[in-house]
Structure 1
């Protein structure tokens, strides 16, 4: 079996164009961890490290003593975040008011039993990382969404959201959830900020579906 690469095999999910589009997402499995406050804090990097450590442990499990049933080779999926605010009256003006569920999609062969098994391995390797203990295995159904590829700095994402809102209005869709998803296609440590690629997505419904 060929190696699964999300950039090629799931292009519609992870590489939309710079114009808004509609996507209906299936139920997918993730490893998640929750966070509150300013993502510029140092501990946010520790959270991301926990997610990547787990994800690469699963990817490299074909070299371990316990190779998962139905294992296949694949490219590790990108980091994602579902963003919201703690206090609605404050909104997103203060980054300390942010809350997020950070996550990384996992291969189809990962189940609850294997999650527990690999989590123990990661705990032994990263015993000083407090976020490893907080990792969870979840199935997430985003359903019908509007999404776009945002190019540039994170603080200007509002411009892409305005384009998405206008697209939905013209096509008789409306947003049903104030939370939004961000998928980080670019590595901010290695990419010029003006060229950062981030998928922006939020849940929608068709007006005539009510």
Structure 2
């Protein structure tokens, strides 16, 4: 039976549009790091490379490669962890120049995926769809633990409004945000969906005060 994250993992990927706490276990990801304005021409290339590998993994049985434990599934959504560079942090006044952004983009992988299998798909992809950014892709296990999250509906530029609600909620729950970095999970394709209708899961790590 096909594993569909929208149906089987709603608590992780489809929160309500109000803050809530959630416990995020260890997951496996393909990741790639970079910096700069996400509105620039280069940014879609990072996304393209991750999806190229992720679909290579999903479609591997059709290429005669099937790892132990393989099951059919829907490819997970793109995620991103965002920060600003060290130079910008020295003069940070609450406003952000998008050119100073530092990002780590990622796509979660099913449990049957391991480092050996990723290398196999990576080598195959380099031959069929070579790209300089493939060298920057890593296979990682990441555990976020306790977090506050909510669904943000609207433009990415309006996210501070939702983060404010999340921080108020965390304070009421006696929780402390552990870092100014945050995670975004993109449920909408910004190339096809109007800004006011974009759906993005916002999440940051917390600990008890």
Question: Normalized against structure 2, the TM-score is what?
Answer: 0.96
5 Å-filtered alignment, 1:127-206, equals 127=130, 129-206=131-208
1:95 alignment counterpart:
98
2:121 paired with 1:118: yes
Structure 2 Cα separation of the partners of residues 65 and 14 of structure 1: 31
Q: 1:126, CA displacement in angstroms?
A: 2.1
Structure 1 Cα separation of the partners of residues 171 and 205 of structure 2: 14
Deviation digits for residues 126-175 of structure 1 (CA, Å, limit 9, x no counterpart)? 21x22111110000010100001000000000000000011011111110
Instruction: Note if contact 1:84-1:99 (Cα within 8 Å) is conserved in structure 2.
Output: yes
Segments of structure 1 that go 5 or more residues without pairing to the other structure are none
Task: Indicate the RMSD between aligned Cα atoms, in angstroms.
Answer: 0.9
- Residue range with higher mean Cα deviation, 131-140 or 87-96: 87-96
Instruction: Note if contact 1:14-1:199 (Cα within 8 Å) is conserved in structure 2.
Output: yes
Structure 2 Cα separation of the partners of residues 77 and 89 of structure 1: 36
- Residue range with higher mean Cα deviation, 64-73 or 110-119: 64-73
**Partner SS state of residue 83, structure 2:** strand
Figure out how many residues of one structure are paired with residues of the other and give that number. Answer: 205
2:77 alignment counterpart:
78
Structure 2 Cα separation of the partners of residues 88 and 78 of structure 1: 29
Question: Normalized against structure 1, the TM-score is what?
Answer: 0.95
**Partner SS state of residue 21, structure 2:** strand
Structure 2 Cα separation of the partners of residues 104 and 85 of structure 1: 21
Q: 1:194, CA displacement in angstroms?
A: 0.6
**Partner SS state of residue 42, structure 2:** helix
Segments of structure 2 that go 5 or more residues without pairing to the other structure are none
**Partner SS state of residue 204, structure 1:** strand
Instruction: Note if contact 1:123-1:133 (Cα within 8 Å) is conserved in structure 2.
Output: no
User: Where has structure 1 moved over 3 Å in runs of 4 or more?
Assistant: none
Structure 2 Cα separation of the partners of residues 136 and 52 of structure 1: 13
Deviation digits for residues 43-72 of structure 1 (CA, Å, limit 9, x no counterpart)? 111110000000000000121222111100
Q: 1:90, CA displacement in angstroms?
A: 4.1
Q: 1:40, CA displacement in angstroms?
A: 1.2
